[in-house]
Amino acid sequence: MRYSLAVNDELRNLFHGEVIEPSGIHYDEARRVWNGAVDHYPELIVRPFDAAAVSVAVCFANRNGMPIAVLGGGYDWAGRSVRSGAMVIDLIHMATVDVDAERQVARVGGGSKSNEVLARAGECGLAAITGAVGHVGITGFALSGGYGPLTPGLGLGADNLLSAELVLADGTLETASNEKSPELLWALKGGGGNFGVVTSLELRLHPVSDILAGKILYPWSGAAALLESYGRYMASAPNDLAATLALVTAPDGKPAVALAPCWQGDLADGSAEVENLTAIGEPALAKVGPMKPKDLFSLFEANAVPGRRYAQQTRWLPALGPDVVQVLLAAAQAKSSPFSAIAIQSFHGLPTFVPVDATAFPIRSPHFLVSIVAAWEDQSAEADEKNRVWASETSRALEPFSLPGGYASLLGPNETEQLAHVYGSNTERLMRIKRQFDPSNRFTANGPISL
């Protein structure tokens, strides 16, 4: 480690929060994230209590030539939030959630988790756009774009970002809103954490108190027809319907297809719509019913076990034609671990009507987001290599059928070809904003916006 205790004592005298050094008893716990395969060694971990403390940390890192990483939810599978050799600014103590029910707005701290936001909003009969896992940080989710079960009817997480407060690369505090720094707000809506440390957000909430959701399991024998039918059905699905399809291992150890529908409109209309969707195959098991938005997490979190080892790849597919389906089925049968899965999420409805240049998020045409999730528990180097290779080979097999780029928050730092095309026609504008607010490239949350 390069930094002396004397230097760290200088930080302690100025900093309102915790300072965790490599020699500290809490260091090993603090550097761990959701992915058990991440074994990074930050130079220093600081846990600020407020935005002023974040500013102190950023200025300290600048003076001492330390790279900066920001830890919110800790669900970035590549572990960039606990970068080795960096100062990690861990926002664990900045996790407040305040709901203004009249304005239908939530003000959330930079370290807030998705489940905390939905729980507080739900007390007022409201819902926020979140993903499928409750412990994912809401800040990273919204800044990266944010696909979720309510997205077809209510937009991406980024579409519902109203304003943000952040600490810039020089330590100054900035507000990004439509009234102040609108270009910076535009960049934050999909451009990720490449512009500063976001200490709080204002998010639009929606009057959704009850939904119709659940899980349906189909036998593998009908998988090919089921995937093609799912692709056709979702291409014309109503805005109130979302559905994630996944190629999984069933409880009996055999391959299976899982379908997780979510209906956010009138529940009576939803029952008929979900029945029609269910009928694209012959289910072995179907459990769908009314629930609160916060209960959605229970449908997915059993497959996102903290401490398990993970590697991910992603592709954007314009359609699920027969050739694509055969690649997906072959990959699912070749997976190296029963915990691995391939998830497919439909992007349709309201967010497809947003102009591509309205936010930094680069794709507004209907498509399918494919998440290739390698998950395993064997900690041997052989198992690590085998599972990572499976994810990479699956991604390469899908490349001929895919749109350029991919969802930035799921791409690893070595996916240079995809990263180069992530922001498409929005790249030049993003780079201009990057040069304005972070000319020394202090924030490198993902590759495409690094100077």
Residue 405 confidence (pLDDT) above 80: yes
pLDDT score, position 10: 74
- The CATH 3.40.462.20 domain(s) of the chain lie at 211-419
For the residues 62-71, what does the mean pLDDT come to? Answer: 93
5-90, CATH topology level: 3.30.43
Highest mean pLDDT among 22-26, 241-245, 304-308: 241-245
- The CATH 3.30.43.10 domain(s) of the chain lie at 5-90
- Which of the four pLDDT bands, split at 50, 70 and 90, describes residue 11? confident
- Which of the four pLDDT bands, split at 50, 70 and 90, describes residue 451? very low
Domain spanning 211-419 has what CATH number?
3.40.462.20
Residue 373 confidence (pLDDT) above 70: yes
Q: In angstroms, how far apart are the furthest CA atoms of the chain?
A: 67
Which residues neighbour 110 within 8 Å (Cβ) at sequence distance 6 or greater?
70, 72, 91, 94, 137, 139, 197, 198, 199, 200, 201
Chain segment 264-312, per-residue pLDDT in tens: 999 989 999 999 999 999 999 999 999 999 999 988 888 889 999 999 9
Q: What tokens does 435 get?
A: 């040069």
**CATH assignment of 97-207, given 3.30.460.10, 3.30.465.10, 3.40.50.740, 3.30.1540.20?**
3.30.465.10
H/E run at residue 20: strand 17-20
Residue 3 confidence (pLDDT) above 80: no
For the residues 359-383, what does the mean pLDDT come to? Answer: 97
Q: What is the DSSP string of 151-195?
A: HHHH--TGGGEEEEEEE-TTS-EEEESSSS-HHHHHHHHHH-SSS
- Which of the four pLDDT bands, split at 50, 70 and 90, describes residue 447? low
pLDDT score, position 86: 94
